[in-house]
Amino acid sequence: MSLINNLCWGSTCSNGSQTFLRIGSGAKTILSIYLYNMLNSYKVGSIKANIFNNLDCKLTSRLPLKTPTLVSEGKVIEEWIDYNNHMNMAYYIQCFEESSDYILEMLKIGYLYSTEEKKGVFVIKCNINYRNEIKLNETFSITLNDIKIYGKKLTIDLVMKDSNNKIIAEYNILNLNVDLITKKTCNFDNKILEKIN
């Protein structure tokens, strides 16, 4: 059997940061493929592996971050449609969270923040308001309406609109800045505060 046939008959698995392709039935050879080399990377310079990878990031690296600003654009895919023939509620959250990750990466409080500075941004509360339905193949955009940092708290307000600029959903997130070594909350540094308006 050729390598191509073995690849076709192989299986994939993931450990979160890497995807492995098992070649052949014995799986004696494993190719390790890092997701951040294979998938679309964030356009603001992160090497973080995309968790969802469904939206197009529209952020630029211009700081300080102004509001409102376009964060991402996407299109409803078949896997997101439920038996009511519209996008299932879980995928609204997925799209908002992917957009939130783009913002964190731009502010340098995403992947490298956790690996190099040993700090992380934890979601402790989120609220979503569903205003209108969106259906298969419809396009949408997600805009950052407001962002605030005060002490150890970060709030992000996002809005999803359809191609006619009609509001589909609104999403509000409350995050805490956490020291990953002590597992205690801590204030954001001034260098982070300077990156938002």
Q: What are the residue boundaries of the structural domains of the chain, listed by start?
A: 3-34, 41-193
Looking at every residue in the chain, the average pLDDT score rounds to 78
Q: What is the mean predicted confidence (pLDDT) over 45-71? A: 76
Task: Give the span between the Cα atoms of 23 and 25, in whole angstroms.
Answer: 7
User: Rounded CA gap, 146 and 61, in Å?
Assistant: 17
Q: Give the pLDDT mean for 54-63.
A: 86
Helix, strand, coil % (nearest 5) of the chain?
20, 40, 40
Nearest Cα neighbor of 154 from 91, 114, 98, 103 is 103
More confident residue, 80 or 13: 80
The phi, psi pair for 6, rounded to 5°, reads -60, -40
pLDDT, residue 18, reads: 37
* Pairing assessment for the beta strands 167-179 and 153-162 based on DSSP bridges: antiparallel
Between residues 123 and 14, which one has the greater pLDDT?
Answer: 123
Give the model's pLDDT for residue 94.
Answer: 92
In this prediction, residue 194 has a pLDDT band, given cuts at 50, 70 and 90, of: confident
Q: What span, in angstroms and rounded, lies between the C-alpha atoms of 1 and 9?
A: 10
Q: Which pTM was predicted? A: 0.72
Average pLDDT over residues 36-62: 58
* Per-residue confidence (pLDDT) for residue 11, from 0 to 100: 34
End-to-end CA distance of the chain: 60
% of the chain with per-residue pLDDT over 70: 73
Q: What residues have CB less than 8 Å from 17, skipping those under 6 apart?
A: 34, 35, 49
Average pLDDT over residues 101-111: 91
Higher-confidence position of 29 and 105: 105
**Element (DSSP H or E) covering residue 12:** strand 11-14
How many CB atoms neighbour CB 39 within 10 A?
13
Which CATH number, 1.10.10.1100, 3.10.129.10, 2.60.40.1180, 3.30.300.30, labels domain 41-193? 3.10.129.10
Per-residue pLDDT averaged across 154-162, rounded? Answer: 97
pLDDT of residue 62: 79
* pLDDT value of position 36: 31
